[in-house]
Structures are given as C-alpha cells and as structure tokens.
Amino acid sequence: CSPGTGSFSEEQFQEACAELQNPRLSGWNWQVESRGFAVYRKLSRPTGLYEYKIIGTLRAPPDLLADICMDLGYIRWRIPQVIEAYETECNGETVIYMKMEFPFLLSHRDCVYVQQRRELDFRGRKIQVVLAKSTSVPQFPERSGFIRVRQCQVKLAMESDGSNQSKVLIHCFINPGGRIPSWIINLVAKNGIPGFLADLEDAYLRYQRRT
C-alpha cells in the first residue's frame, strides 16, 4: 500500500523545531490567553475556516505528551466519540483509521491519516515532534453513513522547560467536511480551545496513573 501525499520530510520536522524556538506569527491574529497559552488564528480563504497556533507551557514532560498523542488505545478511552481506531504500516509509515460517532445533530465522521513522531537534537536542545496529516489509501475506502474528513493537519513540538513541564507549540487545521456552516465550525473551535488545553493536562495526569 502507499500512503500517497501523507509523508513528512526532514525539513518539516526541522521547521517544527525552529518554530517552537521562534514562532512565525506574521499574518496571524491573537485571539485569547487561556491557561497560560496564547492562541492565534488565520483564515484559510478557500474554506472559510481558521487554522490555529497555540503557544505556551503544559504541566507535563514532553516525552509523555508525545506518548499520549501516539497511544490510540488511550485516545479511544479518553474521547467517547471515537468508536474505532486502529493503525497499519504502509511503506514504513503508520496509517491510522479513526471512526467517530456524534449526537443526532451531527453526522458521523471518519478520517484516514498518517502520523510520525521523532525526537530531534535541534541546536543542542532535545525536542519531541509529532506530525499528522490526512491521506487516502485504497485499504480504507469511504463508508456509507460516514463523512470522510479530508483536510486535517497537526504539528506539535515540545521541549522541557527545565522542570517537569513542556514548552509547547500546536499548529492545526481541521475541516470536518459536510454541510456545517463555516461560522459555526469557527465558533465551536474558538470556544473549545480552553477545554482542549485543560483536557491535555488532565490526560497527562490520568495517563501517569494508568501507566
């Protein structure tokens, strides 16, 4: 099988490390401070949706944060909407299929994406990077009753701040597809970010107890 356009280059990992050190925010608009994080957004004009950058410190070490991102079993346990999630190897890359069921007002969705994690020595500093991107492979055809999420990109870079905390950069864009008006998606995304940050820290604490 072939993961198609889902692979990541060495340059992309290096760029994630560089941006953690010096975030590129030209053209981005500051939105809010939440739980010690600064949240920025920029309009993706073809879709009418916003992409987000979230910069700050989480009370968790970077290696365990990366472990959480890669642990599909834990993600299923933490997120009740995820009813199916499994991975397979395609040409040396991990391809993941995830199926989500939502309340009656929203259609069910699924997504196929590639994900890679690397630990890099960047200018003498150890940085954890997780990159994810939606893709398409014949092994995961579209399913009846589910809207396929075709646009999803996530970049996560983390380094220790010298204690048991992490300096974190999250850059993400997700287009859920379907017929939901863009203004509703944007509103939900903006209002959901504080809860998302709280969930990350809570996930770390629960993951520690679980492991």
What are the angstrom distances between the C-alpha of 40 and each of 20, 29, 56, 103? 14, 5, 12, 29
Separation CA 103–CA 55 (nearest Å): 31
Q: Which fold has domain 7-24+66-175?
A: Alpha-D-Glucose-1,6-Bisphosphate; Chain A, domain 4 (3.30.530)
Residue 176 burial by Cβ neighbours in a 10 Å radius (0-12, 13-18, 19+): buried
Phi, psi of 62 (to 5 degrees): -65, -35
For the stretch 118-143, pLDDT in tens is 999 999 999 999 999 999 888 889 99
At 191, which helix (H) or strand (E)? helix 182-210
Tens digits of residue pLDDT in 67-111: 998 999 888 888 888 999 999 887 777 899 999 987 766 789 999
Classify each residue of 73-88 as buried b or exposed e, where b means 16 or more C-beta atoms within 10 Å of its C-beta.
ebbbebeeeeeebebe
Residue of higher predicted confidence among 87 and 183: 87
Q: What is the pLDDT of residues 23-46, one digit of tens each?
A: 999 999 988 887 778 999 999 988
Q: What are residue 27's phi and psi, to 5 degrees?
A: 90, -5
Q: Three-state DSSP class for 29?
A: strand
Hey, where are the domains in the chain?
7-24+66-175
**Degrees (nearest 5) of the Cα angle 2, 10, 85?**
45
| Closest-CA residue to 108 (of 72, 74, 142, 132) | 142
